[in-house]
Structure 1
C-alpha cells in the first residue's frame, strides 16, 4: 500500500480552513499537529490507526488526532484516490465526541472539492 499524501484544501474563495486554524494554535500545538501528519505520511495508515493518530468518523470522513497536554487538536480529512487525501479543516476538541457541526463542515468541503474537481 502506498503511503498517504495529505493536502490542505484551499476553497474557491481563497480560504484554506486548515491553515487559518493552524496559524492560531500555540507553537507547541502547531509542531505536534504537523509532526503527527508527517508521521502518518511516513509510517502509513495501518500504523497510524494502531497508534491512534487517525480515526474513522464515518464512511466519508476521518480525523487526525493530536494532543499537547490538555489541548486536543483534530484535523478532518477525506480520501480522494490512491494515496491522495485532503484535509478539510481543523478544530480544538472540547467534548468527548467529535461535534456534528465539524463533521458536517468536512462533508460540505468534500462536496465542494468534488464539484471543483469533477473533470
Structure 2
C-alpha cells in the first residue's frame, strides 16, 4: 500500500488555515505537529493509528494528533484518492473531545475542496 501524502488546503482566496495555525504555534509545538505528519507519511496510516497519531472522527474525516507538554494540537484531514490527503485546518485542543464546531468546519472545507476539484476536472 502506498504511503499517504499530505497537502494543505488552500481556499480560493489563497488562504491556508492550517499554515496560519502552524505559524502561530510555539516552535516546539510546530515541530511536534509536523513530526506527526511526517511519521504518518513515512509509516502509513495503519501504523500511525496504532501509535495514536491519527484517529478517525467521521466518514472520511480524521485527525492528526500531537502533544507538547500540556499543549494538545490537532490537524483535521480527509482522503481524496489513492495516497492523496488534504489537511483542512488545525487547532489547539482544551478537552478530550474534538469540538463539534471544528469537525463542522473541516466538513465545510472538505465540501469546498471537492466542489473546486470537480470544477477543475470539468474545465479540463
Interval of TM-score (by shorter of Structure 1 and Structure 2): over 0.9
Q: Distance in 1 between matches of 2:59 and 2:111?
A: 14
- Structure 2's unaligned 5+ residue stretches are none
Q: For the residues of structure 2 that align with 1:99 and 1:13, how far apart are their CA atoms?
A: 26
* Structure with the bigger percentage of helix: 2
Who is 1:111 aligned against? 111
Q: Aligned equivalents of 2:59 and 2:9: distance in 1?
A: 20
Q: CA deviation digits over 1:14-40, x for unaligned, max 9?
A: 110000000000000001111110110
Equivalent position SS for 2:67 = strand
Instruction: Quote the Cα distance in structure 1 between the aligned partners of 2:2 and 2:25.
Output: 31
Q: Secondary structure at the match of 1:62?
A: strand
The equivalent of 2:56 in structure 1 is: 56
Alpha-carbon shift at residue 55 of structure 1 (Å): 0.2
TM-score if structure 1 supplies the norm length? 0.98
Q: C-alpha root-mean-square deviation of aligned residues, in Å?
A: 0.5
Instruction: Give the 3-state SS of the residue equivalent to 2:59 in structure 1.
Output: coil
Using the size of structure 2 for normalisation, the TM-score is: 0.95
Unaligned runs of 5+ in 1: none
